[in-house]
Amino acid sequence: MDPGQLGAETSGTVITNFGAHVDIEGDQAPFRGTVVRCFKRGNMEHLVSGDRVVWQPAEASGVVISREPRRSELLRPDRRGKLRPVAANIDRIGVVFAPRPAPQSNLIDRYLVAAENHCIAPFLVLNKTDLTTEENRAAIEQLVETYKFVGYQVICVSATTGEGVASLSNYLSQHTSILVGQSGVGKSSLINRLQPDNHSSVGALSESNDEGTHTTTASKLVHLDDGGMLIDTPGIREFGLNHLDPQSILEGFVDFRPYLNQCKYRDCQHHKEPGCALLAAVEQGSVSPQRLHSYRQILESEINR
């Protein structure tokens, strides 16, 4: 594009990244609130939803010329182990789970460890409360109580019936948040309920394996009428933590932290060692045995990658 065809530099926020193009929402007149599809300069790094950028408008598009420093970012290793940003400039991470597909506490803990290591406040959302049955009620209630005991905010909602949606909307107001969780837990349906004009694609559960189908193919930033912004992300069935060392994974379990410097031996592995303060905390009921088991699973899987 001829530089002479470009207007004055202005600022904006990345709504969606399509690879070669990005949708930018301007925040200065005359583009305030307007979404413009822009090209990126050839030497620009990868942009994600939530990035603040400087761009120049053209007749029917624009060009992004630089990215402002990120105050926070959520990173995830790709298939080759290289860290890739998922979203930027977020304040809160909402980990969504549901009665169907059956919740995986280990996956929930992976998200929580990632959030804690990136210093982004996590919370949990139990969606699809209308699918709670006599068969799964006890397991769901126990899972909710486990995370409440740790100290996490757990908000119970139903995108179908509207139960709890007002409470969630109030919690999200005045913040930039991201919802993560395995495919099929209803993130897009929940966002559509929070912001009806969003129209994110919604998929049904697979009848063969009770897992969700991927419907969101690119992250997207959505404005909420009650204030705040929300980023919708593609469903992730696994969240690698191989970019974190064992100590970072351990400290990502916030309920473990009070006991980590209290063990008899400095190199305690918190497995069978005598004088382990963490094992004692589990025996005393101060730490959930399920959380300790989850930590061991995560550590073993990442070491063996």
CATH of the domain at 137: 3.40.50.300
Question: Which residues of the chain have a pLDDT value below 70?
Answer: 1-4, 198-217, 234-239, 303-305
Is the domain of 77 the same as that of 225?
Answer: yes
The answer to whether residue 237 is domain-embedded is: no
Determine the Cα–Cα distance for residues 270 and 32; give it in Å rounded to an integer. Answer: 54
Q: What burial class does residue 134 get, using C-beta atoms within 10 Å of its C-beta: 0-12 exposed, 13-18 middle, 19+ buried?
A: exposed
Per the CB < 8 A criterion, the answer to whether 262 and 279 are in contact is: no
pTM of the shown model: 0.85
In terms of domains, do 258 and 202 share one? no
> Terminal CA-to-CA distance of the chain, rounded, Å?
45
* Assigned token pair, 254: 């916030």
Domain assignment of residue 133, yes or no: yes
Residue 253 identity (one-letter amino acid): F
The number of folded domains in the chain is: 3
Domain of residue 287, CATH code: 1.10.40.50
With respect to residue 146, please indicate whether it lies within any of the assigned structural domains: yes
DSSP 52-77: EEEEEE-SS-EEEEEEPPPS-EEEEE
The reply to whether 128 and 184 lie within a common domain is yes
Per-residue pLDDT reduced to its tens digit, 245-270: 999 999 999 999 999 999 999 999 99
Domain boundary among the residues 67, 86, 114 is at: 67
Q: Are residues 283 and 190 in the same domain?
A: no
Last residue of a domain, one of 52, 67, 82: 67
Does residue 238 form part of some domain? no
Same domain, 157 and 278: no
87 with 49, same domain: the answer is: no
Same domain, 156 and 227: yes
pLDDT of residue 200: 44
The domain boundary, picked from 208, 232, 256, lies at 232
Give domain status of residue 240, yes or no.
Answer: no
Residues near 90 by Cβ (< 8 Å), separated by ≥ 6? 50, 72, 73, 74, 120, 176, 177, 178, 231
Q: Where in the sequence is the domain holding 175, given as residue range(s)?
A: 73-232
Strand partners, 38: 22, 62
171 CB-near residues (< 8 Å, 6+ apart):
123, 153, 155
